[in-house]
Amino acid sequence: MPRGRRGGRVSALEGGPEEEAPPAAAAVPSALWASGLQPGAAAGQTLLRGIFEIGRSSCDVVLSELALRWWPIQPERPAGDSKYDQCKEEFIEVKDIFSVKLKRRYSAKQQGNGTLLGITLFICLKKEQNKLKDSTLDLINLSEDHCDVWFKQFKKILAGFSNRPKSLKVILNPQSHKKEATQVYYEKVEPLLRIAGIKTDVTITEYEGHALALLKDCELQEFDGGHWKLLFAIHCWSVKSFPLMQTLEMSVVCVGGDGSASEVAHALLLRAQKNAGKETDSLLTPARAQLPLGLIPAGSTNVLAHSLHGIPHVVTATLHIIMGHIQPVDVCTFSTTGKLLRFGFSAMFGFGGRTLALAEKNRWMSPNQRRDFAVMKALAKLKPEDCEISFLPCISSHDLQEWKAEGSPKSDSSDQWQTIQGQFLNVSIMAIPCLCSVAPRGLAPTTRLNNGSMALIVVRNTSRPEFIKHLKRYASVKNQFNFPFVETYTVGEVRVRQRNKSGCDPEEDDGRQAAASEHSFPWNIDGDLVEAESEVLVKLHPRLISLYGGSMEEMIPK
């Protein structure tokens, strides 16, 4: 059995020393591979079988269509000796492999490709709490011919995963949070993308709205023998014009916080309407976004990324993109007086809107100081909004399943609008769970990413201590809605109309001075301050965009 010598400078390479694998992927004990796939599932057509050294043990290795299996080669067992019975078969699923490279050793005096040691597999591991981790598995064999056959077979398998992106347009907001987005990308994200062989084109935004401006116009330029690179916006491709999109040759990635992510998603959807020839101010059924969007959390709260991945973890978000884990996600349209304000995922009016307006007026503070100051100031001047709220109820998926099981003809929505009115301290409308550090169960814990409904949460007027008690419940395991002044509804459409403008007194610095006019009031839409007229219509559009993230079952709050 060929064995690699210890010592020297060892790297996992596909070509020469300039392709040394970054130290991002750490090898783990082989015992960790033994869970996750049932023995029967590891079966399938055998592609290759050979001998490699794995973890200092000579192993019989079998590669099938579904899994890579191996077990130590046992010497002839002495009579009555049972210690070898403890050797177990181990395996990994081929779908968890995201890159393969030849492993070589280089010395100072050596020239050329170095000494071949074997093959390195880069693996995506599932950890606790929705977290993903990159790791490596070394298959040691000094035979050039042997490794070449296996290497080509692994490359062929990886090429068959058409859902994985080949190129990424990366939009990076250097001002996110503590201006750490650039460091996060180049230290944690880019090395993994490079290992996976994904081409990237990075645009660093220079001002608010820069990404949206870039995505309005785009140009294409051919490079490197037929590949295509977007100079400005990969979003503008259409499936009809560019069939490569159907195999996810390219995707978009946003590195930043909620504001950046929402801006890019909004721009992507606007471009989709333009390509479909639809007027944005008269959208009944918007066109779906044509390219999937990846989100790398690098902001203060990262609500959208947290809801998508179940955890605000940079490596997890990156691996979901590399592995091509795509989730269709519901999107809302926010419009007023027949004009589209924007596409979005969640919104708050009242306390949530005024708090954001105050925070935006004090951007000279650090993000945490700005947030705390705005919350305290808004609480000090807490006052209700006199509103009329109309909504179109949706039947919950649980009730709908029960009715279907009983043979009931009820549909999943109602065509009867309902109206509530009065004094409201806060109104929340959310199409996603809105997980964040201050609300680990989510601001709307019963909502899913694509269940075809929104959560409408209204907080009627109450005393300041009771309202604060309600806010504190978000950080606990207790039900934050178990108050007599809190009402929740599952809806498909919502219309919010302010019935007076008494809250726009310019003498009061309660956050509404940032309004564009005395007829506007602040909305917090995905962390962005949006000034709206007295009536806002919010409508849900199921599965309007595809985002890179985990399976829906993993996202269910505990």
Measured on CA atoms in the order 46, 50, 53, 58, is the torsion positive or negative?
A: positive
Residues whose CB falls within 8 Å of the CB of residue 265, separated by 6 or more in sequence, listed in order: 254, 289, 293, 331, 343, 345, 545
Tokens of 260: 């950046």
pLDDT tens across the length of the chain (558 residues): 444 433 333 444 344 433 444 444 455 444 344 444 454 444 578 999 999 999 889 999 999 999 999 999 887 766 655 555 556 889 999 999 999 999 998 877 767 778 899 999 999 999 888 899 999 999 999 999 999 999 999 999 999 999 999 999 999 988 877 788 899 999 999 999 999 999 999 999 888 888 887 876 554 332 222 233 333 333 333 333 333 334 456 789 999 988 889 999 999 999 888 888 888 877 788 999 988 999 999 888 889 999 999 899 999 999 999 999 999 999 999 998 888 999 999 999 999 999 999 988 887 888 778 888 999 999 999 999 999 999 999 875 555 555 455 554 444 555 789 999 999 999 999 999 999 888 888 999 989 999 999 999 999 999 999 999 999 998 887 788 889 999 999 999 999 998 865 444 444 444 444 444 455 789 999 988 998 877 999 999 999 999 999 864 554 444
Q: What is the DSSP string of 215-263?
A: HHS--EEEETTTEEEESS-GGG--TTT-GGGGGT-EEEEEEE-HHHHHH
Residue 240's closest CA among 272, 270, 268, 265?
272
Burial group, residue 397, by CB count within 10 angstroms (0-12, 13-18, 19+) = middle
Token pair, residue 16, equals: 């020469």
Q: By three-state DSSP, how is residue 269 classified?
A: helix
Burial of residue 126 (number of CB atoms within 10 Å: 0-12, 13-18, 19+): middle
